[in-house]
Structure 1
Amino acid sequence: MSKLEQLKEYTVIVADTGELESIKKFKPQDATTNPSLVLKAVESGLYDNLIERCMANASDFDDGIDRLITSIGQEILQEVPGYVSTEVDARLSFDTEATLAKAHRLIELYEDAGWSRDRILIKIASTWEGIQAARVLEKEGIHCNMTLLFSMEQAQACADAGATLISPFVGRIMDWYKKDTGQSYTGENDPGVISVREIYKHYKEHGYSTIVMGASFRNTGEIEALAGCDRLTISPALLEELSNDDGELKQALVAPAATGNTPEAISESAFRLGMNNNPMATEKLAEGIRKFIEDQIKMEGIIKAHSA
């Protein structure tokens, strides 16, 4: 058995891509997209016909973008049996009401096309404002994937809000520490791996139902060190590497017994203080939002040029 096949015995595999051919090849349970992945898909030219159709049916440009990202999501839904994540515009990351409005519109487009909201994860940056939007959406039966998550404060607030799933970023945490310390890290001492293990342990001990999905991997060593996590979202390149490796892969995470104790919900002030005292989490969250905004704007520029 390949390491990918072995990993599937311990963990639900999620494809971190908008490329349909990769999804068909690796047969993941779920798939995630983000502005960077949508940009890559749009740049490939594979969705040119979809772009034309969505923009032709749109009431305005923003509506066309919403139609495009949900149409890409619908293409992916036909290839996976589980969830597809569709991200809210990162420019709304600090606006709860605008995030709610955008999430409602995305779900409306999916449901108008005949897809159940039970198959969709609305992907939202794990800012305080984004987490409060998720709290409302989850009560409405709209499931959320909380992304750009780098700290225990974010993880606790997402669990308090009843988020369906969190995406703690492994590789970006490691990137920060590597740059800060000049050191190299392996799976076992990788700060990103350690962070996800701590969050996983915390969630399981306290009985939270929120799914932990490790994300943003730099190498297969990080993935192997998290074998047993609820879900792992993995790029096509690393899925390929795992599928070509038939070495032994052991389960690294085993859920501890639940204690039955639920921690007190984190307050906004404690959340913000915790983030303030964690330069890695603060910097990587801000950087991630900026990068997603940059790629969203690039994607919109390509579509405007295409539609001209």
Structure 2
Amino acid sequence: MKFFIDTANLAQIKEAQDLGILDGVTTNPSLMAKEGITGQENIINHYKKICEVVDGDVSAEVIGTTYEEMIKEGEVLAALHDQIVVKVPMIKDGIKAIKYFSDKGIKTNCTLVFSVGQALLAAKAGATYVSPFIGRLDDVSSDGLNLIHEIRTIYDNYNFDTEILAASVRHTMHIIDCAKIGADVMTGPLSAIEGLLKHPLTDIGLEKFLADYKKGNA
């Protein structure tokens, strides 16, 4: 499973990259605003900085909601760097835009997916990634992980190339469960990724090893 980090914070992206396990980055206007990055020129420059830090795909989201707006914005974003993936919302014009980009060889990430039917349409249109938001589904008492499972089943039935990118990952167990189900990619905060490192028995074991070493080498 690929590991993406969901942030616009360069320090966190660098920290994840330094771990040696980072495969890409996803971000959006809300995450940009959280870092104080506003204005089209600043946002564009920030995407370029992210591409300089990571080796993998970087999802850059369009703001427009009409087909024409998404095509115009997406082509500008795709021209920034080979690593850019154009992030398009799951709406009617978004599906049309994904098909256009797919035919042009431009990678896409279909975002805000909450149903298996939406995921099916995204794959039919040729999306590179489809992003079901499992955490947001959990928030409204729906089963986000079951959605991943259903999408996996349908994609495998028809050998779709679209990768399932589990988004809105909130914690470490989301990552583990998505890996069990067969999500191709997860994207979440650095805290969730680093949570995989932690286990109390590891801490206890290391503490004992070091204590025994000190006794034997006092």
Tell me whether the two structures share a fold, i.e. TM-score over 0.5: yes
CA positional deviation for 1:68: 2.0
Deviation at residue 136 of structure 1 after TM alignment? 0.4
Contact 1:70–1:86 at 8 Å: present in 2 too? no
Task: Write the letter of the residue equivalent to 2:129.
Answer: L
CA shift, 1:202, in A, is 1.3
Cα deviation for residue 173 of structure 1 reads 0.7
For residues 214-253 of structure 1, the aligned pairs below 5 Å read 214-227=166-179, 228-245=182-199
Identity of aligned pairs, percent? Answer: 32
Cα deviation for residue 168 of structure 1 reads: 0.6
2:139 to 175, 200, 218: 175
Q: Deviations over 1:165-189 (max 9, x none)?
A: 11110010111116xxxxxxxxxxx
Q: C-alpha root-mean-square deviation of aligned residues, in Å?
A: 1.9
Q: Are 1:140 and 2:75 matched, yes or no?
A: no
**Structure 1 segment 260-271 matched on structure 2, within 5 A:** none
Judge which range, 17-26 or 155-164, deviates more. Answer: 17-26
**Using a 3 Å threshold, how does the CA distance of structure 1 residues 15 and 222 change in structure 2: closer, same or farther?**
same
TM alignment of 1:47-196, pairs within 5 A: 65-89=39-63, 92-93=64-65, 95-108=66-79, 110=80, 115-116=81-82, 119-177=83-141, 191-196=143-148
Matched, 1:212 2:206: no
1:15–1:235: 8 Å Cα contact kept in structure 2?
Answer: yes
Alpha-carbon separation, structure 2, partners of 1:247 and 1:166: 37
User: Would the alpha carbon gap of residues 194 and 246 (structure 1) be closer, same or farther in structure 2, given more than 3 Å must change?
Assistant: farther
Q: Which amino acid aligns with 2:188?
A: I
The answer to whether the Cα contact below 8 Å between 1:69 and 1:86 also exists between their aligned partners in 2 is no
The aligned amino acid for 2:57 is Y
- TM-score of the two chains, using structure 1 as the length reference: 0.60
Looking at structure 2, the residues matched to 174 and 243 of structure 1 have their Cα atoms a distance apart, in angstroms, of 24
**1:246 Cα offset (Å):** 7.4
Residue 237 (structure 1) shift? 2.2
Question: How many residues were matched structurally?
Answer: 196
Unaligned runs of 5+ in 2: 203-218
Offset of 1:247 from its aligned partner? 7.7
Query: Would you say the 8 A contact 2:169–2:186 is kept in 1?
Result: no
Residue 30 of structure 2 aligns with an amino acid whose one-letter code is: S
Unaligned residue ranges in structure 1 (runs of 5+): 1-10, 52-64, 179-190, 249-308
Residues in 1 aligned to 2:199 and 2:132: alpha-carbon distance in whole angstroms: 25
Q: Give the 4+ runs in structure 1 shifted more than 6 A.
A: none
Letter in 1 for 2:118: Q
CA contact (8 A) 1:170 1:217 kept: yes
User: Would the aligned equivalents of 2:170 and 2:189 in 1 still touch at CA under 8 Å?
Assistant: no
* CA offset digits 1:131-181 (Å, max 9, x no partner): 111100111121111100001111011011011111110010111116xxx
Distance 1:174 1:229, change over 3 A: same
Q: Structure 2 CA distance, aligned partners of 1:105 and 1:130?
A: 16
Equivalent-residue separation in structure 2 for 1:105 and 1:21 (angstroms): 26
2-side partners of 1:241 and 1:70: how far apart?
A: 31
Match of 1:278?
Answer: none
